[in-house]
Amino acid sequence: MAKRDILVIPDKRLRLKSEPVLAIDAEIRALVDDMFETMYDAPGIGLAAIQIGVPKRVVTMDLARKDEPKAPQVFINPEVTWASDETSTYEEGCLSIPEYYEEVTRPKAVRVRYLDLDGKEQEIAAEGLLATCLQHEIDHTNGILFIDHISRLKREMVLKKFTKAAKRGEPVRPRAANDVPEHHIG
């Protein structure tokens, strides 16, 4: 296992549409291991493969609180098959947009179809934090960031801040993201 660097905006790779996984082989298992190591170290509760520069439709997640045992989850080729009309609003964050949090409104409940690590097709019904996290990470596999769901003015302010920091060669680094466990940081 190896911890990988997390891409930060305005890295253009974050805008790539990831490719489906065709076979769950040793390479994919190694990728998943690296993603968990990177995600737990960050720390974050969700990670998409493109965030470590791999344009494959793989998502890792662990929504367990700090005082609970680890609960790793892997979603391969996840796709939303149903979304509720009812919405909910969560303050989201993203490991690729460190130290920025904003409220995002999304469908409150979703159904998601995916492959597990054994290549078996699964479908889950999700609501609350799991629904938000799944939608945030599936967005990543399609090159979409949570700031695409906020106002244009706010989005442009964030992009400007990160573009300036990148030009100065001073990447914005996450502080103690686990101070805000109720937020989605993925």
Give the shortest CB-121-to-Zn ion separation in angstroms: 25
In whole angstroms, what is the distance from residue 7 CA to residue 51 CA? Answer: 5
Give the shortest CB-133-to-Zn ion separation in angstroms: 9
- Residue 78, preceding peptide bond in cis (omega within 30° of 0): no
Which residues lie near Zn ion (CB under 5 A)? 94, 186
Chain residue whose CB lies nearest Zn ion: 94
- State which amino acid sits at residue 164: K
SS3 for 117? coil
How far apart are the two ends of the chain, measured CA to CA in Å? 20
Q: Please, which residue, 49 or 115, has the CB nearer to Zn ion? A: 49
- State which amino acid sits at residue 120: K
Give the shortest CB-139-to-Zn ion separation in angstroms: 8
Question: Out of 123, 137, 170, 182, which one is annotated catalytic?
Answer: 137
In whole angstroms, what is the distance from residue 170 CA to residue 181 CA? Answer: 26
Q: Please, which residue, 105 or 119, has the CB nearer to Zn ion? A: 105
Token pair for 68: 């609970």
Q: Please, which residue, 111 or 149, has the CB nearer to Zn ion? A: 149
In whole angstroms, what is the distance from residue 163 CA to residue 45 CA? Answer: 25
Reply yes or no on whether 137 is catalytic: yes
Q: Please, which residue, 6 or 24, has the CB nearer to Zn ion? A: 6
CA diameter of the chain: 46
Give the shortest CB-140-to-Zn ion separation in angstroms: 6
Catalytic center residues: 137
